[in-house]
Structure 1
Amino acid sequence: MTEATNPTTTTKTAALKPVRGPAPYALSDLILLPTTVPEIIQKTWTNNMEEWAKGVPEDKYHARERHLAATAFSSEGRLITWVLVPKPGADVTEPYRAAVGEGGVKGSFVEDDGSKENLERILGALETYERPGLVARTEDGDEGVKDVTCMSIASVYVPSKYRHHGYGHLMMKLLWEEMESQKIAFTFLYSDLGPDFYGDFGWTPRTCTQILIPTTMTLPTPPMARTRGSVKPVTLESMATDTQLQELITQDALLVRQDLETRLAAAKTSNDKKTRTIVAVTPEIRAIQWLFARSYFNASVIFSHNHSALLIQTDLKFGIRVPGSKTQFVLWHHDFTDDNLFILRWRLDPSSTPEEDTDAIALAFAQAAKDEAKKWGLSKVVFWNGDEALASLLGLKVETRKDSIPSLGLLNTVYPGHQSEELEWVLNQKYSWC
């Protein structure tokens, strides 16, 4: 999720600013449009390939995007592709026309036109995904935790030839206005442009840490097992079916709601009389299946030379759990592109087992994740905003992330006058990324 920038050429004495030609279109002549035209959507994929393809051929890159667009997570209008384009009747600026002559873009955008000339008028694009969410506010009386609609933002991109004219800023401003009109409760994205860019429009950066477990690391034994032998051996089972996954996600969503209710009750009884707002992206099976579909396509098509077809068919699974449990599990995502096994959800149930057994389960989960990463040739396990107690148990440090910085905003039409510093994001983890 980035509007990539070109590195600035430097000399020994001074940094040289990039050369910027005239803007093709005035900002006042641009609009943000949703589109369902296949040729237009495919052109946005071709445009952002310059940053995200990482050597993947165009036909395979497009095939993966079509594969993901066909999932339940992307269907029934939940996924919308937006394009920043010149409005009807607009044309290029006179300085631009004088600078490029007949060789550049010109004219206004036609919504249903898939011609090459029209596609060149796409000055920027992004995707939005409609998601279920939960919101709890101390000023809402006895209403408790509410089910709401939230929106995640992905694939924010301005082609390099159209940068440095304010198009990215305008696109995000127009999107925010669109979400206000739809009365979306909250919105979030993951910034590769640092913590400040999206703050100009309403998204504020949130805590962004991670625990990294290299596959070369030898994990410790459970602390209590070093002094006594009564810690039960931990057995785990793989989760491979949608039925198993649905059971876990249903219970997980219920527990997330209960967590918000507990936090809300504590906030209401505290001495701090400020309005507190607590939000969470509701765990849902469609999002996990979308991430799995991404892993499966990458393994079987883009990186098929690295893995046998039999291994992909039989061993690419959602995660692991304590046998039969709905409250002790790990869901993961094989990120073959960036060489990571990401932890999507990690749930332990300390209330059901003694502390020493919980430690043993946590270490068994970490070992299973490390083994899974190694089996697929991935160099590390990555856990966004993982528990500091887990890091301590593993003898690892909690690191600050520099990329994919989670950024969150409430919408003013639903929550007028809110303050971003009074907003808490619960379960700010990888399962909500798209």
Structure 2
Amino acid sequence: MASTYSLSELTLVKATPEQAIITNKNSFGEWGTHLSLEQYLSRETSLASLPFTSENFTVWVLVPRSTPETTTNILSACETFLRPALIISSSLQKQNCYSIASVFTPQEHRKNGYASYMMELLGKKLKENFQEVGFSFLYSDVGPVFYSRHGWKVFEHKEIQFNIENENFDSITSEAINVTQLSYSDIEEITKYDCSLIEKEIDFNSTKYKVVSLPTFECFEWTFARSEFYAKVKGFKEPNIWGAKVTNKEDKVIGFVLWTYNFSDNTLQILRIRSPDTNTTKLLIRQAKLYASYYNFKKITVWNPDLKLFTETVFIEGGELIERTKSLPSLAWYNNKSSSSSKDDVEWILNEMYAWC
């Protein structure tokens, strides 16, 4: 039977390498779907070596104060990723933010308040750096209440799902004269272009702070690596197309879409989409459908799209707008002028799937 500790006996620390391995072993039973333990640990090691994680990734563990390096009494754990961000009020500030992932309490330690206490301590640690880190966010799979109690307020969580069964793809390539597919080598350039435009397009006429976690190449690289890992494990041909762009007659990019392949759910997930109009949106979605069909995927998902650009596309392309019940985007705002974290103070720009981790 597992020992029970009072919360006053506990502390939150950065995990040792040995503790980090134990946290992955602990979570395998719940998150290691379709993988063996060896494969699961290999995936985590591989992802941790990428630029997105190698210097900006921390595993946190809730442990007894008396044995902070314990590998047998890790009561709860989570991960944080430090990422570049923008905060906009009357001016633009380049800061960082944290994304939080893999919040997990082993079965034998549940019902003791450990996860709640861990999030309370984590929130305090992250907020201490408010001058460099403006906010943190996570994606809740346990509904809107738990994390909200600790400062992470739920934001918009709409999703468009496109069902692509019985789709005719013959017309896609013929109509998409100005569409070019994006291979891995194209992604860094397109993400730099995107980030530069985000800064130029900022609207300062708002009573709210605006925040955005920037869609950098490194976060896409990390997500693509997950897809490639599952492709190998499940015996699929590794993907080599990760999106598409639409250009004008002068070969200037006017819109693009970046996606990833979820081989566990047989879904093509759109990570980021930039489009100036409904026609461009339709072209990009049809390209996504084409590449989903190569793996016999039946569904495409888009998180929190600009509905002005999708209304016609949804109707024509057979999409459905729903509210997600999982992966609810939740954000804590670290405004040093306020003693509380208020959702009403903040507008979350580009609340799209590229930010998930």
The answer to whether TM tops 0.5 is yes
Written as runs of structure 1 = structure 2, the 5 A alignment for 1:1-80 is 24-37=4-17, 39-76=18-55, 78-80=56-58
The aligned counterpart of 2:261 is: 334
Q: 1:120 to 1:327 in 2, by over 3 A?
A: farther
Cα separation, 2, equivalents of 1:22 and 1:68: 31
Cα separation, 2, equivalents of 1:418 and 1:172: 14
Q: 1:212 to 1:24 in 2, by over 3 A?
A: same
Contact 1:82 1:125 in 2 (8 A): yes
Q: 1:326 to 1:248 in 2, by over 3 A?
A: farther
Contact 1:68 1:293 in 2 (8 A): yes
Opposite residue 7 of structure 2, the aligned amino acid is: L
Cα separation, 1, equivalents of 2:345 and 2:129: 23
Number of aligned residue pairs: give it. Answer: 346
The aligned counterpart of 2:246 is: 322
Task: State yes or no: 1:132 paired with 2:84.
Answer: yes
Instruction: Pick the aligned partner of 1:303 from 234, 240, 248.
Output: 234
The aligned counterpart of 1:226 is: none
The aligned counterpart of 1:426 is: 349
Opposite residue 303 of structure 1, the aligned amino acid is: K
Contact 1:219 1:367 in 2 (8 A): no
CA deviations over 1:191-218 (Å, ceiling 9, x no partner): 0010111011110000100000112154
Instruction: Pick the aligned partner of 2:109 from 162, 168, 172.
Output: 162
Q: 1:245 to 1:415 in 2, by over 3 A?
A: farther
Opposite residue 400 of structure 1, the aligned amino acid is: E
Q: 1:160 to 1:425 in 2, by over 3 A?
A: same
Per the normalisation by structure 2, the TM-score is: 0.90
Cα separation, 2, equivalents of 1:59 and 1:220: 39
The aligned counterpart of 1:345 is: 272
Contact 1:131 1:281 in 2 (8 A): yes
Instruction: Pick the aligned partner of 1:291 from 219, 223, 228.
Output: 223
Cα separation, 2, equivalents of 1:218 and 1:279: 38
1:402 is displaced (CA, Å) by: 0.6
Written as runs of structure 1 = structure 2, the 5 A alignment for 1:24-423 is 24-37=4-17, 39-76=18-55, 78-88=56-66, 108-109=67-68, 111=69, 118-138=70-90, 144-183=91-130, 184-216=133-165, 218=167, 233-242=176-185, 244-259=186-201, 261-262=202-203, 264-265=204-205, 267=206, 275-300=207-232, 302-304=233-235, 307=236, 311-312=237-238, 315-323=239-247, 324-350=251-277, 358-359=278-279, 361-389=280-308, 390-395=310-315, 396-413=319-336, 416=339, 419-423=342-346
Opposite residue 288 of structure 1, the aligned amino acid is: F
Contact 1:199 1:205 in 2 (8 A): yes
Opposite residue 322 of structure 1, the aligned amino acid is: V
Cα RMSD between the aligned structures? 2.3
1:219 is displaced (CA, Å) by: 7.8
Contact 1:215 1:371 in 2 (8 A): no
CA deviations over 1:66-86 (Å, ceiling 9, x no partner): 11001110012x000011100
1:412 is displaced (CA, Å) by: 4.4
Contact 2:158 2:304 in 1 (8 A): yes
- Aligned to 2:98, the other structure's residue is in SS state strand
Cα separation, 1, equivalents of 2:138 and 2:304: 16
Cα separation, 2, equivalents of 1:42 and 1:237: 42
Unmatched 5+ residue regions in structure 1? 1-20, 89-107, 112-117, 139-143, 223-230, 268-274, 351-357
The aligned counterpart of 1:353 is: none
Contact 2:176 2:283 in 1 (8 A): no
Instruction: Judging by fraction of residues, say which structure has more strand.
Output: 2
Cα separation, 1, equivalents of 2:345 and 2:306: 22
Opposite residue 69 of structure 1, the aligned amino acid is: A
Contact 1:251 1:327 in 2 (8 A): no
Opposite residue 85 of structure 1, the aligned amino acid is: V
Higher gyration radius (CA): 1
Unmatched 5+ residue regions in structure 2? none
